């Protein structure tokens, strides 16, 4: 039998089995699909937190407050060092400019600031960071080194907010990894147990193929193709379900998840997610089929 004839036989046998036993395969596809929906939502949540962290990093400026007797030459050297290290853009803010900003932010109450005899605000350096320089750990290290300078009175970059978001993002990644492992194992067990029902109904056919000289690979291939097809169907179902859920949350989420969205939408790489859903679905289907058929080959 030629290779093309074998492939055609395997595919025809797999599709015929799925048509003859639709209930069993629907259960397997449903189990796979629900697992992939959970995986997809976890991936989107993790990506959204990363995007939110990056956006907040752009809004929070790295501000250095200078002492009143800060030497101009050392301040110039600090400016060059900050811009060279981070690649950001730096502006030197005078006390008068800072006071004007504060008065504008306070509105009506800010008018009292204009009556102050002496301006209490210091000179400061405001550094706007590019996306590749917004890592909380790197910012913390830079802030510690800058605070240690004798002519620097303080540094502010929204440290607490960035660290909290970083902890949440790492926790989501760890939770997603643990959930993925548990879902993978559980789904493989459920799918293999479900497929054993269909394989058990064909045990006599398997025994005959083995007795007439059929190899394990020849007997196994139709079942593996069934598992791959189930994974593809489950991946497509999960992708459609995740897309519908995301669009529904964007419309109806409101205040519940509105803080996670950027410009009222989630940041989703649908092409990459589709490949991940289909790839994982095929892997789960193949794993479940392999485990299910393995015991019936020992005849």
Which segments in the chain show pLDDT lower than 70? 1, 50, 52-60, 107-117, 162, 165-166, 169, 198, 201-203, 214, 253-264, 295-299
Check residue 151 and give its pLDDT. Answer: 92
Angstrom distance (rounded) from CA 234 to CA 34? 8
Task: Provide CB contacts within 8 A for 246, sequence distance 6+.
Answer: 44, 266, 268
Domains in the chain: boundaries: 3-55+163-297, 61-157
Check residue 298 and give its pLDDT. Answer: 58
Q: What is the DSSP letter of 21?
A: -
Check residue 239 and give its pLDDT. Answer: 93
Angstrom distance (rounded) from CA 158 to CA 147? 15
Secondary element (H or E) of residue 212: none
Angstrom distance (rounded) from CA 181 to CA 174? 11
Angstrom distance (rounded) from CA 22 to CA 32? 15
Check residue 100 and give its pLDDT. Answer: 78
Angstrom distance (rounded) from CA 279 to CA 103? 57
CATH fold of the domain at 61-157? Alpha-Beta Plaits (3.30.70)
Give the tens place of pLDDT for each residue, 121-162: 889 999 888 877 777 778 888 989 999 999 999 998 877 776
Check residue 53 and give its pLDDT. Answer: 63
């Amino acid at each position: 039998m030629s290779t093309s004839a074998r492939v055609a036989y395997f595919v025809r046998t797999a599709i015929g089995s799925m048509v003859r036993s639709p209930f069993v395969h629907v259960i397997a596809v449903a189990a796979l699909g629900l697992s992939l929906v959970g995986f997809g939502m976890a991936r989107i949540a993790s990506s959204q937190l990363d995007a939110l962290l990056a956006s907040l990093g752009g809004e929070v400026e790295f501000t250095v407050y200078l002492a009143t007797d800060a030497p101009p030459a050392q301040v110039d050297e600090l400016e060059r060092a900050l811009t060279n290290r981070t690649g950001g853009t730096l502006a030197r803010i005078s006390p008068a400019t800072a006071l004007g900003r504060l008065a504008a932010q306070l509105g009506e109450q800010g008018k009292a600031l204009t009556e102050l005899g002496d301006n209490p605000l210091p000179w400061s350096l405001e550094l706007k960071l590019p996306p590749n320089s917004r890592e909380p750990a790197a910012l913390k290290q830079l802030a510690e080194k800058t605070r240690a300078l004798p002519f620097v009175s303080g540094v502010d970059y929204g440290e607490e907010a960035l660290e909290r978001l970083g902890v949440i993002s790492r926790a989501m990644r760890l939770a997603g990894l643990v959930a993925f492992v548990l879902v993978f194992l559980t789904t493989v067990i459920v799918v293999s147990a479900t497929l054993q029902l269909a394989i058990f109904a064909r045990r006599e056919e398997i025994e005959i193929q083995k007795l007439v000289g059929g190899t394990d690979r020849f007997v196994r291939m139709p079942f593996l193709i069934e598992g791959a097809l189930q994974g593809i169907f489950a991946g497509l179902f999960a992708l459609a379900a995740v897309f519908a859920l995301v669009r529904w949350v964007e419309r109806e989420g409101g205040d519940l998840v509105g803080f996670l969205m950027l410009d009222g939408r989630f940041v989703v790489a649908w092409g990459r997610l589709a490949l991940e859903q289909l790839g994982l679905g095929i892997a789960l289907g193949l794993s479940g089929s392999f485990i299910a058929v393995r015991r019936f080959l020992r005849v």
